[in-house]
Amino acid sequence: MLVNAILPLVLLNSLAFALPSSPNADAEFRRIAKRALALRLVKDIEEQTRDGGKVDLDTLLSPQERQLLGGGDEYAPYQVPCPTGWNWVRSADSLGVGEQAYLAQRKPYLNPAINKQLARVGLPQPNRTPVIGFALSGGGYRAMQVGSGGVMATMNQSSEAAASGIGGWYEGVTYQAGLSGGSWATTTMMANNGRLPTELINDVWNLESNLVIPDDGKLSFYYNMVSNVRAKANAGFATQITDYWSLALGDHLLPSQYHLGNSPNYTIAQLPSKVPGLANGSLPMPIIIAAERELNEIVIPGNASVYEMTPYEFGSWAFGSQRKVRGAFTPIEYLGSSLNNGQLNGSCYKGFDQLSFAAGTSSTLFSGALLTLTASNASSIIVDAIESILKDIGEQDNDVALFPNSFANWNPDTNPIADFPYITLVDAGLTNQNIPIEPLLIPYRNVDAIIAFDSSADTTYSWPNGTALRQTFERAEILAQTQDVSIRMPKIPSANGFINGGFNQRPTIFGCDAQNGSTPLIVYVPNYPWSYYGNTSTYQLAYEKDESTKVVLNGLRSLSLNGTVSSWPKCLACAMADRAYNTRPADCQSCFDTWCWDGTDNTTTPSSEYEPVVGTLPSFISSRNLGSAGAAVGASNAVAAQSSSPAASASVSASQGAAQAMTSSGMLGWGGAIVGVMVGVISGAVAVAI
């Protein structure tokens, strides 16, 4: 059907070659052709509704129009009786009751797992159980796969992870935080009960099909999205592009029974009851984060409020961007219920906290949508057609996720969001904090060690350079100096310091020196081409299973060092347990002398672009002869990937070079452009006129 809709306009577009050419004429013709194509696609969908009869778009999208386009309404929030005895809003001055209960349930799994890992490398048991957190960065499908691979390196079910000496640590992790693409990894792993990412590639993920334009071309995909989003609007809730984006994500990452064609009604609050590993406490507690966008803001400030979504609560530890005040939390299960000053003020609802909506909210990044399209490696004529209306969509402020403000009129004298009807959330990567470290630095969580997986596209060739980690450090310093807000963040070097020191080539441990004793140790794990060029474009919308497997396994090897450094499993164990020892073991001091940042920050501009070669040992490892015994492993693994990697690298350089202009971090989520395309095609949300 899409082919039938497109073909007439393809012919129209081809006429451009027969017309007199001039820059202005060409531009005008392209504008007309694109808008004509968009209009034709929208009309095609109109004609498929109402038993073949036409319906105008205003009626089609009206919240008052009740007839659905097929599919269902399971995505919509639904009214329920209000429970009694609930604390609807609590001050952010402690851990919530639900989180505390889960930690108590999780603890019996932690001690045996951690002690087993320490014993394997000859280290003594610590004086207490260390609290360990994982933080998975943003970066689209690339970050999802690389981050999933990094997590898999710690999963004993993986034979390669077990053989590397790293597998088994996942059983000792307390928290797993995700942002944007990292939130997709966290979402899909938790929803599928902690299965190996390589199993998800084959059994769950639908990455071969384009995220927005399914390969089969079925309009039912769009019908089901429209019907579910309209049902949410009919229930009285604000809807936006993010809803469509979220449903598309869910169709590619969640178990099949929660796809659009079935029942897309999997909520975050349901995770502990539906996922055995969360029901019994054997999996880490997931945290999905997003950032608040202030009213009438387009650029997100670095001090924007960070919001958390867990199976138990929604909220922020601190409200406000100009001035921080203590934040608050509300039960996530009843998100969307009418609250005023912390008390019920109307009906109660469930179902707003859709798992797909949480993942979509965490990756709603629309700034620079037009440039995203032109820099994209997507070649669809639909992308080209809708490019002309993306700017209008963004100007309508439809590029966010609107959450009913559960904290309205709560502590009105100090609460900067007390007067807001909605909390406006966007991709937290817009703050340049592209690794979700901050939730793990909260003093109440007492996290001792963090593994930070960085899949950011900071450099020209889409490799990380530590900007995300540095941004969190700078934010922590400013808050501590100006607002007396304590964020337990160790010192971090500059982006130039990362590249000059080689810290973005291999794991580096931060926070080892005595003056950082009150902070967690952070093991920074950058994306590096151990066996495959995993620097795929943020805008790549589809992956074959073979390529996806290579990207995931390369992520695994970024933490395991591909088995090239025999002492690394012990040194990683030292980092995981260090804060829980009263006295640091001698073996660990030797490890830290090797792997910890020594505090030197070489801020000199690098003389050339950072462009690592697949299968080559990081200079830090080769110059110290740390990996000579296993160097052949990296080389042999690189052979299989070599044939496709150079082409991938070339395409990444072209697209990402243009993308650098969009943000100083170089990391732009691609949800904005893609969902703008989707909604333009599905609903004609912007008037299309020739």
Output the six-digit token pair for 247.
């449903």
Tokens 């034979």 locate to 159
User: What number is the average pLDDT over the span 229-240?
Assistant: 90
Most confident of 144-148, 227-231, 471-475, 535-539: 144-148
Of 378 and 259, the structure prediction assigns the larger pLDDT to: 259
Distances (CA, A) of 397 to 295, 400, 403, 670: 10, 7, 14, 17
Of 103 and 206, the structure prediction assigns the larger pLDDT to: 103
Q: What is the longest distance spanned by two Cα atoms in the chain? A: 80
- Provide the residue type at 408 as one letter: A
Residues 6+ apart with CB under 8 A from 223: 48, 69, 70, 71
- For residue 23, is pLDDT > 60? no
Strands (E), 299-374: 306-309, 313-319, 325-331, 339-340, 343-344, 348-350
- Provide the residue type at 186 as one letter: T
What is the C-alpha separation between 157 and 277, in angstroms, rounded? Answer: 14
What is the C-alpha separation between 641 and 32, in angstroms, rounded? Answer: 43
- For residue 45, is pLDDT > 80? no
- Provide the residue type at 330 as one letter: T
Q: What is the pLDDT, as a whole number, of residue 4?
A: 38
Q: What is the pLDDT, as a whole number, of residue 436?
A: 96
- For residue 662, is pLDDT > 90? no
What's the burial of 604, exposed, middle or buried (CB within 10 Å: 0-12/13-18/19+)? Answer: exposed
Q: Per residue in 444-500, pLDDT tens?
A: 999 999 999 999 999 999 999 999 999 999 988 877 766 656 678 999 999 999 999
Give all domains of the chain, ordered by start, each with its CATH number: 90-683 (3.40.1090.10)
Q: Kind of pairing, strands 521-526 and 449-454? A: parallel
Residues 6+ apart with CB under 8 A from 453: 134, 135, 136, 137, 146, 147, 150, 151, 182, 435, 525, 555, 558, 559
Q: What is the pLDDT, as a whole number, of residue 84?
A: 92
With cut-offs at 50, 70 and 90, classify the pLDDT of residue 644: very low
Tokens 């450099």 locate to 459
Give me the percent of the chain exceeding a pLDDT of 90.
60
The long-range contacts involving 270-277, CB below 8 angstroms and separated by at least 24 positions, are 270/355, 271/190, 271/191, 271/311, 271/355, 272/102, 272/311, 275/190, 275/191, 275/193, 275/194, 276/193, 277/190, 277/193, 277/194
Q: Per residue in 185-223, pLDDT tens?
A: 999 999 999 999 999 999 999 898 866 666 654 556 767
Range from 44-53, 170-179, 243-252 carrying the lowest mean pLDDT: 44-53
- For residue 645, is pLDDT > 60? no
- Provide the residue type at 87 as one letter: N
User: What number is the average pLDDT over the span 332-357?
Assistant: 96
CA neighbor of 652 nearest in space, from 549, 558, 503, 551:
551
Chain-wide mean pLDDT for the chain? 79
469 touches 452 (CB < 8 A): yes
- For residue 15, is pLDDT > 60? no
What is the C-alpha separation between 300 and 433, in angstroms, rounded? Answer: 11
SS (H, E, C) 495-515: HHHHHHHCCCCCCEEECCCHH
CA neighbor of 371 nearest in space, from 657, 683, 682, 49:
657
441 touches 135 (CB < 8 A): no
- For residue 559, is pLDDT > 60? yes
- Number of H helices and E strands in the chain, helices first, is 24, 16
Q: Per residue in 130-175, pLDDT tens?
A: 999 999 999 989 999 999 999 999 999 999 999 999 999 999 999 9
CA neighbor of 317 nearest in space, from 420, 445, 217:
445
- For residue 688, is pLDDT > 70? no
